[in-house]
Amino acid sequence: MRTVELGRTGEQVSHLALGAMLMGTSTGEAESFEILDRYTTAGGNFVDTANCYAWWPRPGDTGGESESLLGRWFARTGKRDEIFLATKGSGWVGNAEEVRAGKADLWSSFEGAGGDTLRRALDDSLRRLGTDHVDLYYVHVDDLSTPLEETLSALASIVAAGKARYIGWSNVRTWRLERIRQLALANGWPVPVAVQQQHSYLRADPYSDRDFSIVSAEQLDYVRRHDDLSLVAYSPMLKGLYDVPAKRAAEYGRGSYGGPENDARLAAVDKLAAELGATPGQVVLAWLLAQTAPCLIPLIGPRLLSHYEAAIPALDLELTPEHLEFLDNA
């Protein structure tokens, strides 16, 4: 598995990151451990989780299950020092049952990025993970109601205390990224080294109500011009949209990714996959891995071992310049 530098930190992380969102809930412990074992045996070292993973799969799930499972895996394998570990705060939902039942709004239920909130959240994460630090700590959902000065000052204290080595942001607008950067530089606080956003081969509707979470052309340009900031692309497979025909017509996919341009892009992926003897999802993942402007890190979150096994061949799928041009021009 190839590695890339995270921002300009000097840290070499796997070009393919592994998301543990559903580990400990939808993905049982034995299967989660098998995925983690296979990923690390293949040379993978970039593992991603969050304190709120995952409160939604089953009644009684509250969040923290993924971090707790990773803590047990670290204890079993002794591999904590081999892993570049990322977790997140600000997205914890304390009223999960009410949100699940539709009695409370999700977006107003997030714990937010207040200073005390983040410090407490990370301490709780470290306890579940069984470690004294994480390598990368994200603000999971950008919090417009808390002054950025408060959030950045708290993150600076977290880094100074050695509880996180680097910081990042997720689900954030481009103008906010620039404001974060300027405030951090002006005050001598750590500058984010990673932005984690949803990004795939299909192009999202720029007027979608999820535009703050999905990479836009403007945001790609911003990351391209700031090479100290890596783009970590979550949901690159759009929950199986490319490989499962029924999902192409589902609200999740068509709600943000409909329209004639994406019909053409899906047709191009299908055509190239047939020519290469690959799946459409593998072609998309190979396309993402081939991007250089900016270089980005796809983050897969397999629910099943079979999903992981279906994705890994993309690492060996070499797309020629002609293949890339065909996909880019669809």
What are the structural domains of the chain?
3-257+284-319 (3.20.20.100)
Question: 67: part of which helix (H) or strand (E)?
Answer: helix 65-77
- Looking up tokens 């081969």 gives 201
Q: Please give the full DSSP string across 80-114, using - where no structure is assigned.
A: GGG-EEEEEES--BTTHHHHHTTSS-STTTB----
Asked which of 92-106, 183-197, 300-314 is least confident by mean pLDDT, the reply is 92-106
Pick from 187, 185, 269: which is nearest to 229 by CA?
185
Q: Which residues contact 145 (CB under 8 A, 6 or more apart)?
A: 112
Residue 235 tokens, joined: 């949901």
Q: What does the alpha-carbon distance between residue 57 and residue 80 come to, in Å, rounded to a whole number?
A: 27
Pick from 284, 287, 170, 173: which is nearest to 219 by CA?
173
Could you read off the pLDDT of 43-66 as tens digits, one per residue?
999 999 999 999 999 999 999 999
Chain mean pLDDT for the chain = 95
Q: What does the alpha-carbon distance between residue 120 and residue 297 come to, in Å, rounded to a whole number?
A: 29
DSSP 313: G
Q: What are all long-range contacts of 66-70, with beta carbons under 8 Å and residues at least 24 apart?
A: 66/20, 66/21, 66/22, 66/23, 66/24, 66/25, 67/125, 67/128, 67/129, 68/24, 68/128, 68/129, 69/20, 69/23, 69/24, 69/29, 69/32, 70/20, 70/23, 70/36, 70/128, 70/129
Predicted confidence band of residue 257 (pLDDT cuts 50, 70, 90) = confident
Predicted confidence band of residue 205 (pLDDT cuts 50, 70, 90) = confident
pLDDT of the residue at 246 = 82
Which pTM does this prediction carry? Answer: 0.96
What backbone phi and psi angles, to 5 degrees, belong to 232? -100, 115
| Strand intervals (E) in the chain | 3-5, 12-14, 17-19, 46-48, 84-89, 134-139, 164-170, 194-198, 230-234, 296-300
Residue 292 tokens, joined: 């250089």
Residue 157 tokens, joined: 């204290």
Say how many C-beta atoms besides its own lie within 10 A of residue 328's C-beta. 12
Could you read off the pLDDT of 16-46 as tens digits, one per residue?
999 999 999 999 999 999 999 999 999 999 9
